[in-house]
A and B are shown apart, each in its own frame.
Chain A
Amino acid sequence: MSKRINVRDLDVYYSDFLAVEGVSMTIEPRTVTAFIGPSGCGKSTFLRTLNRMHEVIPGARVRGEVLIDGDNLYAPGVDPVLVRRQVGMVFQRANPFPTMSIRDNVLAGVKLNSRRMPKSDQDSLVERSLRGANLWNEVKDRLQLPGSGLSGGQQQRLCIARAIAVSPDVLLMDEPCSALDPISTLAIEDLIEELKQDYTIVIVTHNMQQATRVSDKTAFFNIAGSGKPGRLIEYDDTATIFTKPSVQATEDYVSGRFG
């Protein structure tokens, strides 16, 4: 179910403002790709164009192509709702539905497909998803309790369980650990390592150690100045980016000289 992402010359606009310019990259299946770069460089914006979540923001639009195993997400007639069922997303702050139980949170996306699912299938899906998110042992005795009662790290893993319950091809993560303590962060990073077996994972992070720990490839984004569009500066194996990058700006950034 893991798929290849192919981005061709993508521009992102907010109304008339060009926010990200000319991004082309190929992301291989069953890999973890990290997006790094200073704040405002457009990495989160670009991430959102990979499942058309940028369209939630009024005025946001793209030019260019994003192919997932050859199918253009932006071809005419493509329903963004179906795109998002294929490309799941985990956000900066954990956002389980507060009025729903842990179980219902996991099933929320599946129930949208309005397939009638026998209770036993639901049970096994809940267990499989929660195990997949390394949360099962912590919550198996309280599936009926509200998801908002969990700790921050547990809530974030619940959101991951919810995202993988709909069996997406790709999992996007927008700074998933930025609101978590180091131990919860470690739990999520371990999880990413496991999820890589089944999914194509793209993660935005401000934490460069995290990028080196979890990712196979790293993309460095930067802006020339405020008001200028963000660009993809360098995209390579993570080891290369952090040891001998080919662009000076990348080296300055990863060595902590700016940003």
Chain B
Amino acid sequence: MRPSDRIFRVLSTGSAGLIMVILAGVALFLIIKAGPAIVANWSANPDLAGGTTHGYTSFWSYVGPLVWGTLFSSLIALVLGAPVAIGIALFISHYAPRRLAGVLGYLVDLLAAVPSVVFGLWGIFVIRPFIIPFQDWLNHYLGWIPLFSGQVSQTGSTMLAGGLVLAVMILPIITSISREIFLQTPKLHEEAALALGSTRWEMVKLAVFPYARSGILSATLLGLGRALGETMAIAMIISPALLFSVRILTDTGNSQTIAANAALNFPESNPLQRDALIATGLALFVISFGVNFIARWIISRTGGSRRLRKAGSR
């Protein structure tokens, strides 16, 4: 082998290895730092008596509502965002004229480049006031459903507002992956459907959706992975509490998320409390690692192509 080849191989192998080292390092850091807070006696330890950890008997009772809040807000984002994202992807791949499709795809990718803080500010100043009338309506007519029950918020600082902004934030990844898969639908099957006399929508149902089913699922899971980790938007939009609540229209029933909780409480915490926050971070790490892992597994199992993997890592 020539020296230049050898040098390049060492460099690229090293870069690839670095990924493993970083991932392992992060995991190790989380585990080592989280250890003391997880094993500590929460009711007796004076360091945990005040502040954010006040009144909890163990780490698990502290992290429980946070895990709930994280999953719940992400789920709202998914329910609101995924159908729209898939609709956009379908429009780009099968309905829009080619030039419009290009522009639209570009715009969606641009959406991914907007910083979380900007989304947070947008949530505060635009989304919150905007959804107040809808919240009143939902509460008035559908208040018997637990989701929409309780004293409706007059500020808009609600789980619904947070979920809505999160939904916009996860649009790009779901859209771009779904679009790639829709575009890969074999022409053969599309033409088979059209030649039988199907309308375009029937063609989508006959040929595109069956082909893309697993891809849509994994795109959605990757969107979920993104939603799980979003800190700033949620921290800025809602005034949360550590509790198990399914209410999405109230000021007081907003379940806190792991990421927002850590960001809000970190500055005022003592060392052991910081360890406790890091331990909640470990929980988030495990959850989002699991979600991403399942998503990748579905893609690989159903023979996703190289293009698909490229889209996923964007």
Contacts and interface: CB of A to CB of B under 8 A. Distances in A.
Nearest to B97: A58
A108 interface: yes
Interface in B35-68: none
Interface string A135-168: 0000000000000000000000001001100100
Interface in A78-115: 81-86, 88-89, 91, 93, 95-100, 108-109, 112
B195 interface: yes
A56 interface: yes
B191 A53 contact: yes
A95 B191 CA distance: 9
A95 B206 CA distance: 12
A85 B191 contact: no
A250 interface: no
Contact of A166 (B98, B196, B206, B207): B196
A51 interface: yes
B210 interface: yes
A218 to B, nearest CB: 24
A58 B196 contact: no
B196 to A, nearest CB: 4
Interface size class of A (residues with CB under 8 A): 20 to 34
B197 A91 contact: no
Given A98-B210, A108-B206, A81 B189 contact: no
B196 A85 contact: yes
Nearest to A93: B188
A112 B206 CA distance: 10
Contacts of B211: 98-99
A56 B98 contact: no
B188 A56 contact: no
Given A97-B207, A166-B197, A112 B192 contact: no
Contact of A159 (B190, B192, B202): B192
Contacts of B189: 95, 97-98
Contact of A95 (B98, B192, B198, B199): B192
Interface string B198-212: 110010001100110
A112 B199 CA distance: 9
A58 B197 contact: no
Nearest to B186: A95
* Most chain A CB atoms below 10 A, which of B194, B195, B199: B195
A112 B202 contact: yes
* Most chain B CB atoms below 10 A, which of A108, A159, A166: A108
Contacts of B191: 53, 56, 89, 91, 95
Interface of A: 51, 53, 56, 58, 81-86, 88-89, 91, 93, 95-100, 108-109, 112, 159, 162-163, 166
Given A83-B197, A89-B195, 14 more contacts: A53-B194, A56-B191, A82-B197, A84-B195, A84-B196, A89-B191, A95-B188, A95-B189, A95-B192, A98-B189, A112-B198, A112-B202, A159-B192, A162-B192
26 contacts: A51-B195, A53-B194, A56-B190, A56-B194, A58-B98, A81-B199, A83-B197, A84-B194, A85-B197, A89-B191, A89-B195, A91-B188, A91-B191, A91-B192, A95-B191, A97-B192, A97-B207, A100-B210, A108-B193, A108-B206, A109-B197, A112-B196, A112-B197, A159-B192, A163-B195, A163-B196
